[in-house]
A and B are shown apart, each in its own frame.
Chain A
């Protein structure tokens, strides 16, 4: 059970999300209408924030290559708890159209704790606002605890990340075998 103080802080946290949007892919296109006058997410207390240290939400819009995933992890670890990750679009769920790509990860959940996914390619601004509303409900109930999960299972997340970033041998076969046969 949450204490009264916790439920009070969660009430206010859920009403002033500061969002860092990590625009890797085409999902960045959907954010300007969401931020500006047509859908105007500021009426829900959500504003875009420039630096990771001041942000509460990390919105990952789209596919992540190995290089950008590395930067995303740096960014996530700079953010202060409590912090939440939103996976935006089908690319963060299962790779989307990049499902057989050699350089784009398939599931963001293996490398960072995602609190909420927004399905679709692309999700419309209504879907983004709906996701913020649901995140607010989760935060108020004290169920969005991705950042605690990340700390508790850090070795698992770290092992998954190192599997990508600290490779010491070829994934498929030895390079010289292939060049000789070719």
Chain B
């Protein structure tokens, strides 16, 4: 069943490949996202599970991942859309799944992506947030934390602020 679905995606001129024997990913240009998602919904991927975002800072791009599930065939589809990082805009997918509203609001808060057509992108989890969105890679959480919560080396209580370990 998985091979058949990947074949279908390739026939539409899209780049698709299997990740597991129950999961495949498909890369979609931004303009065709609504088309591909509504097609997938029509062939059985009826459940929208999650909308995730990845910050590819070296390539100056955001990657949105629409995670869909087909319970009848026990398959999962990851629809990946790349958008430029300097102008992060995306069309809302609320017409396909109304549930997208909440996920888009969350992504807007944590990555600063503007979802055109979404009526409510007000702050969601963070109170009084004025800095750049916190899950972007160029946001320094340690510097922010030390600045706001004032937890520094020279403080009393005999507790030293820990140092970040850089993994390579």
Interface contact A171-B130, CB-CB below 8 Å: yes
For B139, give its contact among A102, A109, A166 (CB under 8 Å): A102
Q: How far is the CA of A178 from the CA of B157 in the complex (A)?
A: 36
User: A32 CB to closest chain B CB, in angstroms?
Assistant: 28
Q: How far is the CA of A119 from the CA of B19 in the complex (A)?
A: 44
B151 at the interface (CB under 8 A from A): yes
Chain A neighbourhood of B130, CB < 8 A: 167-171, 175
A-B contact count (CB 8 A): 80
- How large, as a class, is the contact surface on chain B? 20 to 34
A106 and B131 in contact, given A178-B138, A182-B85 (Cβ under 8 angstroms): no
Interface contact A179-B112, CB-CB below 8 Å: yes
Spot the interface stretch: B3-11, B32-40, B46-54, B159-167.
B159-167
Q: How far is the CA of A175 from the CA of B112 in the complex (A)?
A: 11
B142 at the interface (CB under 8 A from A): yes
A182 and B60 in contact, given A66-B127, A103-B126, A103-B134 (Cβ under 8 angstroms): yes
Chain B neighbourhood of A110, CB < 8 A: 149-150
The 0/1 profile, CB within 8 Å of B marked 1, for residues 105-138 of chain A is 1110110000000000000000000000000000
B1 at the interface (CB under 8 A from A): no
11 contacting pairs across A/B (C-beta < 8 A): A95-B145, A100-B141, A100-B145, A101-B141, A106-B145, A107-B151, A164-B149, A165-B128, A169-B130, A171-B144, A182-B136
B147 at the interface (CB under 8 A from A): yes
Interface contact A102-B138, CB-CB below 8 Å: no
Interface contact A95-B132, CB-CB below 8 Å: no
A172 at the interface (CB under 8 A from B): yes
Chain B neighbourhood of A67, CB < 8 A: 125, 127
For A102, give its contact among B57, B128, B144, B162 (CB under 8 Å): B144
- Which chain A residue shows the least CB distance to B155? A107
User: A69 CB to closest chain B CB, in angstroms?
Assistant: 10
Interface contact A172-B144, CB-CB below 8 Å: yes
Interface contact A100-B142, CB-CB below 8 Å: yes
B140 at the interface (CB under 8 A from A): yes
Interface contact A182-B86, CB-CB below 8 Å: yes
A93 at the interface (CB under 8 A from B): yes
Chain B neighbourhood of A70, CB < 8 A: 127
For A93, give its contact among B138, B142, B159 (CB under 8 Å): B159
Interface positions, chain B 96-149, Cβ under 8 Å from A, are 112, 125-128, 130-132, 134, 136, 138-145, 147-149
User: A115 CB to closest chain B CB, in angstroms?
Assistant: 15
A178 and B149 in contact, given A100-B141, A103-B126 (Cβ under 8 angstroms): no
